[in-house]
Amino acid sequence: MTVGAEAQNREATDNVVSLTQAKSALPAGRDEARCDEVLIHVRFHPNAEVNTIDQCPEHLHRQDWFFRLRYGAPLNYQTFAGGRGFFRLQRSCFEAILNQSFLSQSAE
């Protein structure tokens, strides 16, 4: 193994941190803040329709759920390569959007 390859291997190994190490490295109270966040993963088909989306209520189509999240928390969406994206929401915001979807379903 060359010196450059060894350095890259060591750097990659040093950058790998297990989940338990990462949690223990957080300051006190930070774990509770993480529990208050909801992460919703979205995957899209090549034609931009929603393929899968997390936390989707049973009575909603996944495309409708995406639009409700997108309109309810537009600044909380992050696009990633490969037809993916994430909503990172505070639990209170997520529950408000979720409750709104159940209220609108019962009004129909």
Domain count along the chain: 2
Verify that 16 and 65 share a domain, yes or no.
no
* Same domain? 58 vs 17: no
Q: How far apart are CA 15 and CA 51, in angstroms?
A: 32
- Within a domain: residue 30? no
85 and 51 assigned to the same domain: yes
Residue at 31 is within a domain: no
- The model scores a pTM over 0.85: no
pLDDT of residue 100: 83
Burial degree of 2 (CB within 10 A; 0-12, 13-18, 19+): exposed
Query: What pLDDT shows up at residue 28?
Result: 52
Q: Say whether both 21 and 49 belong to one domain.
A: no
In angstroms, how far is the first alpha carbon of the chain from the final one? 67
Range of the domain at 45: 36-107
Say if residue 65 is in the same domain as residue 101. yes
Burial of 83 (0-12, 13-18, 19+ CB in 10 A): middle
* Digitized pLDDT (tens) for each residue of the chain, 108 residues in all: 555 556 455 544 443 333 333 344 444 555 555 578 999 999 999 999 999 999 999 999 999 999 999 999 999 999 999 999 999 999 999 999 988 866 665 555
